[in-house]
A and B are shown apart, each in its own frame.
Chain A
Amino acid sequence: NNSSQLSSLPLQILLYVNGIYYIFYFLATLAMIIYKSQVFSYPDDFLTPDLAVLFVMAILEVPRLYLGFKGNLTEAEAPLGLSLGLTVGSVVLCVYLLLWQTYVLWADVLLNAVLLAAYGLESGLKVTAITAFVS
């Protein structure tokens, strides 16, 4: 990093890639839930929580990424901290979709594992960036 620039480039790249990957992840998971509801026996009181979790996660993702971008580019720690908080929520929902979904297919395992890895890496980079901004 240049001494005058505290914004983290890896974090920026990762946030950008995360945004694109998340769109693919959302569409793929939604398509798989529709596939599961047709092929397997998927009663409504099991389908509703799974769909709810997916949509809540999508709604959380937008402010999370926006705050991440903003905080990193303006070198402000408050938005970045808020984004970190939202990341924790997204991680919990991702773990739900990985472990406690009604049907966990092998493709589900792959997608969620990649997303969890991305979140983990992102959180690490955000913490580093916050310490850099604060100090």
Chain B
Amino acid sequence: PADTVDASQARVRSVPAPITDVARLCVCDLLVAQCDANCCCDPDCSPEDFSLFSTCSVPVVTGDSQLCSQKAAVYSLDVEANPPERIFKLIDQVNPSIFCIHATNYKQALYLKSPEIPTPENFDQLLDKFGGATFSAEPDTWNLDTAAQNPPDANETSKYEYGVPVQTEDAFLRLPSPVVSSWCSDANPAGFLVNQATKCIRSVSVEKCDSIKALSMLFYINSSILALTWFVLQVNITVQSIVVQSVNGMRTLLNSSDVLRLPMVLDELCINAVLGVNYHITHTDTGEIIEAAAAFVLGAISKEALSIEQSFEISFTQENTQPVPLSGNPGYVVGLPVRAGFQPQGYPFPAAFLFAALDLSSNKHSQLTILQSTSTQDCLAAQGARAPVLFGYNMVSGCKLRITAAMKCQPLAQTLLDVLKGQSFPEYVASFGNSQAQDVLDWVPITQLHISEQMISNTLQSSCQIPVSLGIEVKWTKYGSLVNPQARIVNVTATITTTTLKQLPSGRERIIPVTSSVVFTDISSPAEPSYKAWPTINIKLPFDFFYPFV
């Protein structure tokens, strides 16, 4: 019947009342119907459980301490008694301050605001306020419509910061990308220092190919980029290179890239249509853009094609530096490869000025890699398959080694060491995600340990030791401010465990598993917030204040 439905709806509509009785409130009671360890206020704990506790994690439950007099529930453990028992006292806590709240006539003063429950009356208003993808307390200060923006003072030139859209003379530098569906949307601005690569589909028709703006090179380079976020200096986008892709997919690099090639219809094909743009923006270390170049891939669209896939990429390089992909700035970002390097050959020990040429030239050699498990699981066949060690991701991989009687120990040990460590196992690991090769102190040496699996062995020297496992332990810590901690690698230890290979009788085979693992351990000490000291007033009377009575 309708009235019971209404009644149940009315019951559902109200938020449950907050518990304000301090005797029943328990913050550490997290497990339902189970006793929480060291939680003295947990109602699920029996006296036997209390006798096992070492301390009370929540000693006092009290209301707002600003009130002049309030109830407080005090929990403590009486360790003198045998067995230890919990003591529960309900006391009246008095605030001696003269500014304690004696009474309040404002109900919500001491409690958090209850959220509004949607009803048919206020639903539309709540939907307007909170129904979008984002909502914030402050009004949106950035909008795409530059005409509505208030320009800042001419004296104030703001440098680009990370994520700020790169501005051009009429709007923003656009990087077409798929939004919601795979179709290209031209309203996606490129953020400063945000390296992006997007692919999207654009609908085309060969007849109108010279009128579709997004297919012509001009659309991507005609507006020049502003060097700073407000109108000071403009940087023209130069054409770095043009690659022409033929209908069957072959790509050729054109010699002269200064001629602008516009799309046109030729033999039922639309040639010079833009299939991909690669922006390279060079910036200074103070956030000013000094150069912009675009590399194009032009292609031909056949008559039957109704849509083409365009790919766009943008990358930012700081001037006078090698574009080494960073794994974080400055702290490591989870999921990015751990950067590593070598000390240059010929130098016996590291010294500040000798460090300058850490080998970071190619990607593969500048990463810490681990053995990658393959489907065949055969160690000797898997040589060469390596996976990069990604920061924060613990990995275990392995393979199986078939040992026959005919195998000799030394070459086998060397092969296994190569399989585990790879061709070029680095010697140093970058402490921060953006460590430069010339900063010596930002690189952490990899400590190598050897553990022999059999501690008690009768024949130490003569038996054969082969490495069977490599464990890399990366210890990292949180570094920097409490609000925005950065991950920093402190210590890397590579432990090789060897085992004795017993000589097999001829004709027999043995399969031993070989494993390698990477573990990331957080050794950060808990953060200590520190407060600025209150200024103290030092009043001293002058030396002769009590003259002549002194």
A-to-B contact residues, CB < 8 Å: 32, 35, 40-41, 46, 99-110
Cross-chain contact B104 with A103 (CB below 8 angstroms): yes
Pick the 3 closest A-B CB pairs, nearest first: A104-B103, A102-B106, A104-B102
The 8 Å CB contact of B109, one of A35, A100, A102, A110, is A102
20 of the cross-chain contacts (CB-CB < 8 Å) are A32-B99, A40-B66, A40-B101, A40-B109, A46-B106, A99-B103, A100-B105, A102-B104, A102-B105, A102-B106, A103-B104, A104-B101, A104-B102, A105-B98, A105-B99, A106-B97, A106-B100, A106-B102, A107-B98, A110-B98
Q: Give the tally of cross-chain contacts (CB within 8 A).
A: 40
B-to-A contact residues, CB < 8 Å: 66, 68, 97-106, 108-109
Cross-chain contact A105 with B106 (CB below 8 angstroms): no
Which residues of chain B are near A106, meaning CB under 8 Å?
68, 97-100, 102
CA separation between A110 and B68, bound complex, in Å? 14
Cross-chain contact A105 with B105 (CB below 8 angstroms): no
CA separation between A57 and B333, bound complex, in Å? 63
Chain A's nearest CB lies how many Å from the CB of B167?
A: 39
Which residues of chain A are near B98, meaning CB under 8 Å?
105-107, 110
Which residues of chain B are near A99, meaning CB under 8 Å?
103
Which residues of chain B are near A108, meaning CB under 8 Å?
102
CA separation between A103 and B101, bound complex, in Å? 7
Q: Which residue of A lies closest to B104 (CB)?
A: A103
Which residues of chain B are near A40, meaning CB under 8 Å?
66, 101, 109
Cross-chain contact B109 with A105 (CB below 8 angstroms): no
Which residues of chain B are near A104, meaning CB under 8 Å?
101-105
* Interface contacts beyond A40-B101, A104-B103, A107-B99: sample of 6 additional A-B pairs, CB < 8 Å, sorted by A: A40-B109, A101-B105, A103-B104, A105-B100, A105-B101, A106-B98
Which residues of chain A are near B66, meaning CB under 8 Å?
40
Which residues of chain A are near B103, meaning CB under 8 Å?
99, 104
Chain B's nearest CB lies how many Å from the CB of A101?
A: 7
CA separation between A104 and B109, bound complex, in Å? 12
Which residues of chain A are near B68, meaning CB under 8 Å?
106
CA separation between A99 and B99, bound complex, in Å? 16
Cross-chain contact B108 with A35 (CB below 8 angstroms): no
Which residues of chain A are near B101, meaning CB under 8 Å?
40, 103-105
CA separation between A38 and B104, bound complex, in Å? 16
Cross-chain contact A41 with B102 (CB below 8 angstroms): no
Cross-chain contact A41 with B99 (CB below 8 angstroms): no
Which residues of chain B are near A107, meaning CB under 8 Å?
98-99
Chain B's nearest CB lies how many Å from the CB of A27?
A: 16
CA separation between A107 and B97, bound complex, in Å? 9
CA separation between A116 and B250, bound complex, in Å? 97
Which residues of chain B are near A100, meaning CB under 8 Å?
105
Cross-chain contact B108 with A41 (CB below 8 angstroms): yes
Which residues of chain A are near B104, meaning CB under 8 Å?
102-104
Cross-chain contact A41 with B105 (CB below 8 angstroms): no
Q: Which residue of B lies closest to A40 (CB)?
A: B109
Which residues of chain B are near A110, meaning CB under 8 Å?
98
Chain B's nearest CB lies how many Å from the CB of A78?
A: 39
Q: Which residue of B lies closest to A110 (CB)?
A: B98
Chain B's nearest CB lies how many Å from the CB of A24?
A: 15
With most chain A CB atoms within 10 A of its CB, the pick from B97, B103, B105, B106 is B103
Q: Which residue of A lies closest to B69 (CB)?
A: A106
Which residues of chain A are near B106, meaning CB under 8 Å?
46, 102-103
CA separation between A41 and B99, bound complex, in Å? 15
Chain B's nearest CB lies how many Å from the CB of A25?
A: 15
Which residues of chain B are near A105, meaning CB under 8 Å?
98-102
Cross-chain contact A109 with B99 (CB below 8 angstroms): no
Q: Which residue of B lies closest to A41 (CB)?
A: B109
CA separation between A135 and B51, bound complex, in Å? 84
Chain B's nearest CB lies how many Å from the CB of A51?
A: 15
Which residues of chain A are near B105, meaning CB under 8 Å?
100-102, 104
Cross-chain contact B99 with A35 (CB below 8 angstroms): yes
CA separation between A9 and B98, bound complex, in Å? 35
Cross-chain contact A109 with B109 (CB below 8 angstroms): no
CA separation between A128 and B77, bound complex, in Å? 66
Chain A's nearest CB lies how many Å from the CB of B215?
A: 58
CA separation between A132 and B99, bound complex, in Å? 44
Chain A's nearest CB lies how many Å from the CB of B63?
A: 15
Chain B's nearest CB lies how many Å from the CB of A112?
A: 11
CA separation between A129 and B109, bound complex, in Å? 46
Chain B's nearest CB lies how many Å from the CB of A35?
A: 7
